[in-house]
């Protein structure tokens, strides 16, 4: 039982490049979400999903896309990377509403 | 916008109780109070949550005021490994919505 797995752990991109941050959970959790954390700040919600086929925007969705074709996977896509997207990205999941969310170990992304 | 306010930092002697306050004066009736902590740059770790009753688990106790406008997280016997940033969070959990709204947290330093 691996929990929430995020890949890659580290990534450096050039401005304008695109990439996908992967998030997978093996706990059959319905709810998944993506957060970003900038230095000295709390986590900010980017996008979330309450189940397969359903996604919605969080606080800071601009520049990011998500999809949820399966229960297990919730990839985050950066369409055209910008230096302002340099951050640590965390994925989280929970079995249902009102239950604790489990977080992955994060992806540290630098955009030059 | 964050729905909680917390002190920026606190100190606690090892072995003593750490009492971390949180103000959430605009919380709605269906919103839970959650506490997470983040050690170094790891993913946030769930501690405890509650709606209106006090809660206790193996890690901590959560005291919520009767009007639900504030709460206190209690670590009964703090250890050096409890040094972390503690986040008091309001969880909006209703039809097709499940969000954790983070603030900037309290940096707890436990000293010998």
Banded model confidence at residue B100, pLDDT cuts 50, 70, 90: confident
Tell me which residue has tokens 């700040």. Answer: A41
Residues 6+ apart with CB under 8 A from B54: B61, B62, B63, B64
Contacts of A58 in chain B (CB under 8 A): 99
Q: Is the pLDDT score of B53 beyond 90?
A: no
pLDDT tens digits, one per residue of B7-39? 999 999 999 999 999 999 888 887 889 999 999
pLDDT tens digits, one per residue of A20-72? 999 999 999 999 999 999 987 788 889 999 899 999 998 899 999 999 999 99
In B40-104, at which residue ranges do the beta strands (DSSP E only) sit?
45-50, 55-56, 61-64, 70-75, 84-94, 97-101
Quick check: B98 and A31 CB within 8 A?
yes
- Candidate from A42, A54, A101 with C-beta closest to B46: A101
Q: Does B104 touch chain A (CB under 8 A)?
A: yes
Banded model confidence at residue B1, pLDDT cuts 50, 70, 90: low
Quick check: B102 and A94 CB within 8 A?
no
pLDDT tens digits, one per residue of B31-51? 889 999 999 878 999 999 999
- Candidate from A33, A42, A104 with C-beta closest to B104: A42
Tell me what pLDDT residue A24 has: 97
Query: Rg of chain B's alpha carbons, rounded to an integer?
Result: 13
């Amino acid at each position: 039982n691996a929990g929430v797995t995020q890949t890659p752990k580290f990534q450096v991109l050039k401005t304008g490049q695109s990439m996908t941050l992967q998030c997978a959970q093996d706990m059959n959790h319905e709810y998944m979400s993506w957060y970003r954390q900038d230095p000295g700040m709390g986590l900010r919600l980017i996008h979330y999903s309450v189940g397969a086929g359903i996604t919605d925007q969080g606080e800071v969705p601009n520049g990011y896309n998500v999809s949820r074709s399966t229960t297990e996977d919730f990839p985050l896509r950066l369409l055209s990377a910008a230096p302002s997207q340099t951050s640590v990205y965390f994925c989280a999941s929970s079995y249902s509403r009102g239950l604790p969310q489990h977080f992955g170990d994060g992806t540290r992304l630098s955009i030059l | 916008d964050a729905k909680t306010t917390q002190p920026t930092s606190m100190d606690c002697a090892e072995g003593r109780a750490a009492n971390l306050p949180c103000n959430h004066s605009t919380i709605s009736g269906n919103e839970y109070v959650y506490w997470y902590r983040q050690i170094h740059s790891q993913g946030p770790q769930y501690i405890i949550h509650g709606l209106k009753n006090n809660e206790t688990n193996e890690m901590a106790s959560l005291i919520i005021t009767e009007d639900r406008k504030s709460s206190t997280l209690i670590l009964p016997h703090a250890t050096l490994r409890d040094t972390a940033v503690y986040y008091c969070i309001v969880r909006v959990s209703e039809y097709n919505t499940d969000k954790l709204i983070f603030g900037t947290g309290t940096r707890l330093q436990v000293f010998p």
